[in-house]
């Protein structure tokens, strides 16, 4: 390590080793994060990745010096409650307003010694307000920008968290996912994004959409960093037993793990939405095979499974559960005139020149209509979609005799467009999201300088094994995708 510690490229493990070797102090490890953000703000482009920051002096006062993550600065998506910084979900309805208490995940991170230094911009209301939204835009923060190409989308909805890690602000950041909100921005920003098994990390204090799909997750530049943080959280929660219990017939993580790893690649429905990304993915499959990982192609056909889902069912589930869960959250938040979904709809209308200049609130309006007459439809949609996706993924893994499934995450970042909204041709992350299963984006290369990634996913509670396999894959690829902060494609 150089005498001057460089946070923009350092891993969690490197930071910890440098502190223990007294190459840097705890204070220096944190100060460099602020230095990096300040340098880019003055000399570089405006990324709009951050919504709020703590004061440097307050950070040093809060320092824990003998914990597993001491000296590690982190950022959190601004839909995660904090009492010392505003929690807005990107909406002007909560601009400048902290929550009454920290979300449990913030308390956990702090108990491990990690230091929260700020909150990140996001797709407002986690991209579930209006249909024609542009990822990474919020009323509070404006448009987050992709550090690899400033005119390209940062993805969403955990836009600022992924951008902050890619730009070297911090080694780790927290995000959330309902369907793609971790994997998507991780892929287009060239970083690792991990979504654990649903329900492992506590989501209390997170502005909700869906109780059956909302999941907290972690962004980092390496899978190893994710594993360090996630393992520490699991140990703190006392949930380590979840990853070793169960019989082989019900919990794949309990099976004896074969060597070499066996990975299945489903084809139908996962390819063709970005031919250039597909070519990068095919090269990766060759590299994995040459490194000794067994890649079983067209695994769904071999296993006789159907890896599809009903988007209409998912939409109904999300709208129904948003009406229930967001209503409870807003009521508990207790801000006058903002204590129900209907009041937020009214606020947006009253402030439409700022809140709805680019897109509307169709999802909110549809959610407001979800009364008891929709209950039976909701229950059918939820049981059918969840049961089908979970069952067919497990069938694929067992009948195909593989540990995990591997697919392209999505294509490269699209142009930011506030007139027409996002243009996404397809993605590979929805199955795991709907089924509540663990998934991770691994960067695999670029298309004309724009990062692309692939998604590895598997059965419930296979999280730690998933991370070990993903770490091995990242080691094989030995890839670094550094942002160029360029203003146009140059093509």
Annotated catalytic sites, by residue?
77, 157, 181
Dihedral over Cα of 65, 70, 71, 75: its sign: negative
Number of Cβ atoms within 10 Å of the Cβ of 53: 15
Dihedral over Cα of 348, 120, 134, 382: its sign: negative
Three-class secondary structure of residue 193 per DSSP:
strand
Q: How far is Cα 399 from Cα 299, in angstroms, rounded to an integer?
A: 9
Three-class secondary structure of residue 396 per DSSP:
helix
- For the CA atoms of 334, 78, 181, 379, the dihedral, rounded to the nearest 10 degrees, stands at -10
Element (H, E) at 165: helix 159-166
In order, the DSSP letters of 411-468 are: -SPPBP-TTT------BS-HHHHHHT--EEEEEEEEETTEEEEEEEE-STT-HHHHHH
Find the DSSP H helices in 238-361.
275-290, 299-303, 311-333, 341-350, 352-355
Three-class secondary structure of residue 42 per DSSP:
helix
Structure tokens at 257: 């793990």
**Ramachandran quadrant class, 136 (left: phi over 0; alpha: psi -120 to 50; beta: rest):** left
Query: How many CA atoms are closer than 13 Å to the CA of 235, on its beta-carbon side?
Result: 12
Q: How far is Cα 292 from Cα 289, in angstroms, rounded to an integer?
A: 5
Going by C-beta distance under 8 Å and a sequence separation of 6 or more, which residues neighbour residue 149? 413, 449, 450, 484, 486, 487, 488, 489
Cα-based distances in Å from 83 to 95, 100, 105:
14, 5, 13
Q: How does strand 439-447 pair with strand 450-457? A: antiparallel
Structure tokens at 90: 């990107």
Going by C-beta distance under 8 Å and a sequence separation of 6 or more, which residues neighbour residue 380? none
């Amino acid at each position: 390590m150089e005498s001057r510690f460089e946070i923009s490229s350092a891993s969690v493990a490197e930071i910890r080793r440098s502190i223990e070797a007294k190459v840097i102090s705890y204070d220096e490890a944190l100060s460099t994060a602020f230095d990096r953000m300040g340098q880019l703000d003055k000399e570089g482009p405006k990324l709009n990745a951050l919504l709020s920051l703590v004061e440097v002096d307050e950070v040093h006062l809060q320092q824990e010096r003998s914990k597993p993550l001491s000296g590690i600065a982190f950022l959190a998506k601004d839909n995660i409650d904090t009492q010392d910084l505003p929690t807005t979900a990107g909406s002007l309805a909560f601009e400048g307003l902290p929550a009454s208490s920290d979300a449990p995940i913030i308390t956990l991170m702090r108990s491990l010694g990690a230091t929260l230094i700020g909150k990140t911009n996001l797709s407002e209301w986690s991209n579930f307000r209006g249909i024609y939204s542009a990822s990474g835009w919020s009323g509070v923060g404006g448009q987050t920008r992709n550090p690899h190409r400033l005119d390209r989308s940062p993805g969403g909805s955990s836009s600022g968290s992924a951008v902050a890690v890619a730009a070297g602000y911090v080694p780790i950041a927290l995000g959330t996912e309902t369907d793609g909100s971790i994997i998507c921005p991780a892929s287009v920003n060239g970083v690792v994004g991990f979504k654990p098994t649903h329900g492992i990390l506590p989501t209390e204090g997170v502005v909700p959409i869906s109780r059956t799909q909302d999941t907290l997750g972690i962004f980092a530049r390496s899978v190893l960093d994710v594993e360090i943080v996630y393992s520490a959280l699991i140990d703190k929660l006392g949930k380590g037993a979840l990853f070793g219990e169960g019989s082989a017939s019900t919990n794949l993580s309990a099976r004896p793990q074969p060597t070499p790893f066996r990975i299945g690649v489903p084809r139908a429905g996962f390819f063709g939405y970005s031919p250039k990304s597909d070519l990068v993915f095919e090269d990766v499959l060759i590299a994995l095979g040459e490194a000794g990982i067994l890649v079983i192609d067209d695994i769904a056909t071999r296993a006789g499974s159907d890896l599809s889902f009903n988007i209409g069912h998912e939409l109904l589930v999300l709208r129904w559960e948003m009406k229930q869960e967001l209503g409870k959250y807003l009521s508990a938040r207790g801000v006058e005139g903002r204590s129900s979904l209907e009041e937020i709809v009214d606020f947006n209308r009253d402030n439409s020149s700022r809140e709805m200049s680019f897109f509307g609130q169709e999802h909110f309006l549809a959610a407001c209509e979800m009364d008891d007459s929709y209950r039976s439809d909701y229950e059918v949609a939820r049981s059918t979609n969840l049961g089908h996706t979970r069952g067919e993924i497990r069938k694929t893994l067992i009948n195909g005799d593989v540990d995990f499934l591997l697919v392209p995450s999505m294509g490269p970042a699209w142009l930011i467009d506030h007139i027409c909204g996002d243009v996404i041709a397809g993605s590979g992350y929805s199955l795991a999201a709907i089924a509540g299963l663990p998934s991770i984006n691994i960067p695999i290369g670029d298309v004309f300088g724009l990062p692309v990634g692939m998604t590895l996913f598997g059965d419930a509670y296979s999280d730690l094994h998933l991370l070990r396999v993903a770490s091995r894959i990242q080691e094989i690829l030995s890839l670094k995708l550094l942002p160029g902060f360029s203003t146009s494609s140059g093509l």
